[in-house]
Structure 1
Amino acid sequence: MIQFQKEDIVKRALHPKRTLNLKSKMIGLIGLLIIAIIFFMGIFLHHFITDTLKTQLGDQALSVAESVAHNPAIAEAFRSNDPAAQIQPLVSPIQQATSAEFIVVGNKDEIRYSHPNPEEIGKKMVGEDNQRALQHGESYVSEATGSLGNSLRAKVPIYSGSEIIGVVSVGFLADNIQALIGNYKQETWLMLLVIGLVSLLAAIGIATYIKNSLYGLEPEEISELLFQKETILQSTHEGIIAVNENGQITLLNQMAKLLLFGGEVTDKTLIGEPIQRVLPTSDLPVILKTQESRYDKEQQYGNHVVYVNSGPIYNGGTLIGAVSTFRNKTEIDKLTKELFQIKQYANALRAQTHEFSNKLYTISGLLHLNKKEEVLKFIRMEQDAQQEWIHQLIEKVSDPLVSGILLGKINQASEQQVQMTIDPESSLKTPLTDLQRQALLTALGNLVDNSLDAVKEKPATGRHISLYFTDVGDDILFEIDDSGSGIPDDALPKLFDTGFSLKNGADRGYGLSTTNQLIARAGGVMHVEESELGGACFVVSIPKEENIQ
């Protein structure tokens, strides 16, 4: 199970030098954005409100002017001897009711018949903007300066039948309009200011949330961590593939692409794809369901046999995905074989050391008994026997490592009171390749050890192991016979299977399997048959280098 905590990520941050942290930058940038938006919105609303109020006041003035112009009493008053005396009382209540600054009624010559200031009645209208109404009969809104000042006013012609006899002018002073617009603008800017403050508080909240979501890291730190993660991920010697909680691939390194797909795919073609479609035999969908890890499962992808370790990924106790790692079995086997060979050499040296110690004790005892002649005789006998073996191996075996392990096994057998012999007709003069040498060393180490284990239950006089090897012909041939109990018939079909063993105890069943694989890799074969000594006879046959396909 893989689980990440916030503290784990924060501890790995590098804290590069910076002037402002992410939170300050976000608040500042969002604040500037809010100010800019409010500024342009305020200008827009200023013009919008101004235009809207003028349009509304113009429409209101035009509506009042039309009401007055279409009043039959106004047109009737034009035919009287004193139109002003009748029109002024009719217009004044309307002006007060509509809050208009003025309602002026004039004849075709622009002489006023009504005005808010009675002294202006009888005088000519000011502004010179009545021509469109008097001459063309248009109703419109204009802005001009009259006797009361600059104003927004509506002009509507007065008809008597089809004849234009006068004009009605209804207006609102510009100063009053600007005062009204100013009130609206003040409220608008106040509202925008409140919106800006609320937005700024929201920006602080958003910045704090994002900062916490990023575990307090700055963008520079995140970039550095991402670069480090990618570098480590792509340079690791194990394949790694990860999926999210939906089973979609989220991560894939170079070694995984090499081991699983032969390096013929890219990240972009697989990221986001369902793992079941890409790798139907993957354990990851099962891991997501059961949330249980699996270790050292052997699988084959293409030409690669790999060991797969899979497990769920948690974030704060929540399942967020699963990951599998792939180790090349060939490399592990190679390392295991090398360690096994070292173990064989160490055992051989230990046997020689123990045997030599026994001989020293024998010499010491003879010296204490003052048996000098026997000491000399014993030393010459041991020296002759050792020299005979060394001379025989040097003469018959050209490869020093093979002769070395044979000599070590002879000493090991002697220590365990096992009579181990090498057929006098044995010979191995053919130069060995590294692959052949590795296969033979592993085979000799494993098979002789198995033979020693097989005969140890026998009486001392019945413990025999015989070796025969030759390179006559096209193959290098080794035979290891023992006087043990042999191999049961029901065990023969699975004798070379990984994990199968006739011995009791854990971590068994790998020696013969590894040996068989190495011999097969060198182009050879290994089989077992009944030995003339009564036990098992293992036969190893490896073609010479020129015959390897």
Structure 2
Amino acid sequence: MRFTTRVLLLQLSTVVAVVLVSTAVFIVLAVEQLKQEAETSALSIARTVAAAPVVRSEVALETSRQINPSAGELATGPLQSYALDVTGRTNALFIVITDGEGIRMAHPDPGRLDRKVSTSFEEALRGEEVIAWERGTLGDSVRAKVPVFAPDSREPVGEVSVGFARAGVLDDLPGLLFGVGAAAALALLIGTGATLVLRHRWEELTLGIQPEELVTLVQNQAAVLDGVGDGVIALGTEGVIQVSNNAAEEMFGLQGLEGMSLQELGLPTDVIASLEAGEERDGIVVGDRVLYLDSRQVDRAGQRLGSVIVVRDRTDMMELSERLDSVRAMTSALRVQRHEFANRMHVAAGLVEAERGTEAAEFLRTMRDRGPVDYPLAGADLLTEPFLQSFLGAKSMEAAERGVQLQLRDESLVLGEVGGVEGTEDIATVLGNLVDNAVTAALAGPAPRLVEVTLLDDGPELVLVVADSGPGITPGTLGPMPAAGESGPDRIHGHGIGLALSRDLLRRRGGDLWVIDPGGGESGRGAVFGARLPGVMFPGDDLREDEE
């Protein structure tokens, strides 16, 4: 049996029990009220009759006589006539008047006159009023007995007994029971209707899921939310977060997402619009993380319940992608360098074989000073560090292909050497991202399109400054640095993902990334970015020789 059916039966049973108990109590109270009304009426009539002057005088006279009148005399006497008249007007079963010895002086049945009453009359002759349910010569009745006092005296000389038939007392009970029954039936009908409405509302709210199924549903929800590495956010129809797991809270850097809206998560407006439309968005920068968001609408039985957003952390993948791009750039540079170096070695070998030693020596000295490859990097002779020279050389070739001149500024001074695989990868990631963004920005600016790089080292620390000739950073797009990319993509400087990743990478190493000059506006300058990379440089050969 379904839970809602059991609840329905339980509620109906409760309503029936309450109605039955209430009906029984009401009937008992109604019967008691009818009895009390009959007793009050009998007592009032008896008091009125006993106080009548004719009754007091006739009863006092009869009690004082030595010989009682006969039944015939009493039947035609004033008391019988008075009692019958009052009986007819009050619909009483009987009105009996007796003398001090209990002899009937008035009775509905004339044949019972001049006889002693069948019930006790001593209390009335003691001056007491009595109400009792008794059986007499006329059957069961409620009767009131009051004393009759002698004229101008408080001495009891007789009794007046007024009775109403038991059946007559309950004459109004059938109508009362009908009213009670109708009210009970109406109460049952209302209770049944309320129970059915409650059942329908219950199933509507729970989508027809029974409590036993709810337990399983909660267990499955806990398993799904806590058993996956992805973040899960459930939105209601009003766009308020109803459920979230720990992974989602960790990715957004917030606690207690329930009750919050998507705007409070720091998501851009266009991303929120896409999620509300059930679309997916990738590369969303939130704080130090790059997130993938996938929104799915949830329906059950044709009813819209809201949506579920799956959140995946793409930060590590994007960092690997940035490093991979840097490695590809270095690989391409090395391939070009190897090919060019081989060609120059052939030239040098040819000069030696042709016994043109002076020219060969001069050619080799030029290779030593300028490097094995002629890169389109202006100011390349200012840089002797092999890795930085090769990396910027490769970037200059890529920039040249896009019509942008890459230049090393005169202020550059690098005395040490890049050390370690991790340091090499970090420099390639940060410098490569800044140069690529600068090239993209320069393409949006006027000719000549130029990107300037300044490199300075101080012990183990390397400082980068990258400037472009583009239109500058559009206000409000990158957000306040170093929180680059949090407010959405910049139309010129890329999507902000690389900047956020580079900043996060530098901060983990103890460095930083910031905007020196946003450019644009009346200045007519492009943007200038700065970065500080600690622990990536080691003393060069010249420095090591000086230390020795």
Give the alignment's TM-score, normalised by structure 1: 0.59
For residue 519 of structure 1, what is the aligned residue in structure 2?
506
1:345, CA displacement in angstroms? 3.5
Percent identity at matched positions? 19
Alpha-carbon distance change, 407 to 255 in structure 1, aligned in 2, over 3 angstroms? same
Tell me what 1:220 maps to: 212
2:151 maps to 1:169 = no
1:19-418 maps to which residues of 2 (within 5 A)?
19-22=1-4, 24-78=5-59, 79=61, 82=69, 84=74, 85-128=77-120, 130-135=121-126, 137-160=127-150, 161-178=153-170, 180-181=172-173, 184-226=176-218, 228-229=220-221, 238=231, 254=246, 282=264, 332-346=314-328
Instruction: Give distance in 1, aligned partners of 2:433 and 2:92.
Output: 117
TM-fit CA distance, 1:141: 1.3
Partner of 2:350: none
* Matched residue type, 2:134: A
Q: CA deviation at 1:346?
A: 4.6
Equivalent position amino acid for 2:494 in 1? D
- Structure 2: how far apart are the matches of 1:206 and 1:453? 64
Any stretches of 5+ residues in structure 2 without a counterpart? 63-67, 344-366, 373-384, 444-449, 517-527, 539-548
Distance 2:237 2:386 in 1: 56
Residue aligned with 1:543, SS: coil
What TM-score does the superposition give when structure 2 sets the normalisation length? Answer: 0.59
CA distance in 2, matches of 1:408, 1:322: 50
- Distance in 1 of aligned mates of 2:395 and 2:440: 12
TM-superposed deviation, 1:198: 4.4
Give the total of aligned pairs. Answer: 439
* Residues 19 and 184 in structure 2, CA contact (< 8 A), matched pair in contact too: yes
**Cα distance change of structure 1 residues 179 and 516 upon mapping to structure 2, 3 Å threshold:** closer
Conservation of the 8 A alpha-carbon contact between 2:442 and 2:451: yes
Contact 2:454–2:465 at 8 Å: present in 1 too? Answer: yes
The AA in structure 2 aligned to 1:73 is V
Amino acid at match of 1:200: T
Structure 1, gaps ≥5 residues long: 1-18, 363-384, 390-401, 457-462, 530-535
Q: Which amino acid aligns with 1:36?
A: A
Q: State the 1:163 CA deviation.
A: 1.0
Which amino acid in 2 is paired with 1:446? Answer: N
Counterpart check, 1:442 vs 2:429? yes
Contact 1:105 1:168 in 2 (8 A): yes
In structure 2, relative to structure 1, the CA distance for the partners of 1:511 and 1:147 (3 Å cut) is closer
SS at match of 1:143: strand
Tell me if structure 2 keeps the 8 A contact 1:149–1:173.
yes
Cα 1:254–1:72 change in 2 (3 A) is farther
CA contact (8 A) 2:233 2:241 kept: no
- TM-superposed deviation, 1:200: 2.3
